[in-house]
Structure 1
Amino acid sequence: MTIHAFKMQLKPGVVDEYRRRHDEIWPELSALLSDSGIYDYSIFLDEDTLSLFAVLKLRADNSRDALPDHPVMKRWWDYMAPLMEVQPGNQPREWPLSLLFHMD
């Protein structure tokens, strides 16, 4: 198991819509993430900066690296692109976060 944490960036005025879309996450996307070895996935919001902080756990045999090529993932990124900073292809821009402290 590995913990992966990263930051993403929302655009102004879209917090409620971002929350709504995640509250209604597509079942096929949820299944894809689980089948890819992702679990215990949370996204936190810094309301002052509109930064999103994501933390997820990866199973040892995960296939997370294949997600950018999956049609469901691409469709989700297209759906979310108007709300956040993205790279070409609409993949959200991610800034990795380094673990400085963990308490079990």
Structure 2
Amino acid sequence: MQRVCFTLQVRTDRMEEYAERHAAVWPEMLRALHDAGWTNYSLFLREDGLLVGYLETPDLAAAQEGMARTDVNARWQAEMAEYFVDLDVPPDQGFWQLSEVFHLEDQLAALAPTSTTTDSPTQTAQDQ
């Protein structure tokens, strides 16, 4: 599963309205995102308008292509475009994708199984 984090800049004078629009996304848009492979999708908005998005998908390019084939996405992106600073493409094409540099579960899974012998640092003196 690919984990994707991205940023966009929301116009500060439109932040409240942007948040309200996302409190009740069109049901057709929600279904289209799900059907195109966008899972665990969240948006976070900072007080200065920085928008951070996170999603998981088997393939970001395929998920974006799936959305590009829907009429609802074209309508949604057209309406959302006015909320962003310096964006000359639809928002779902103009975000800045961040590189993942750490993921706890990946690193934990890579660890060798821990020993349960008496040399365990978590054993108490009574256990020994």
**TM-score > 0.5 by shorter chain:** yes
RMSD: 1.9
| Alignment of structure 1 residues 74-93 onto 2, 5 Å | 74-85=74-85, 86-88=87-89, 91-92=90-91, 93=94
2:40 corresponds in structure 1 to: 40
**More helix per residue:** 2
| Letter of the structure 2 residue corresponding to residue 31 of structure 1 | R
Q: What's 2:11 paired with? A: 11
- Tell me the amino acid that sits aligned with residue 96 of structure 2: W
Dislocated runs of 4+, deviation >6 Å:
none
Gaps of 5+ in 1: none
Q: What's the counterpart of residue 98 of structure 2? A: 97
Gaps of 5+ in 2: 106-128
> What is the CA–CA distance in structure 1 between the aligned matches of 2:44 and 2:10, rounded to whole Å?
12
TM-score, normalised to structure 2, is 0.71
TM value normalised by structure 1: 0.85
Higher relative contact order by CA 8 Å / sep ≥ 6: 1 or 2?
Answer: 1
Match of 1:52, SS?
A: strand
* Percent of aligned positions that are identical: 32
Aligned residue-pair number:
101
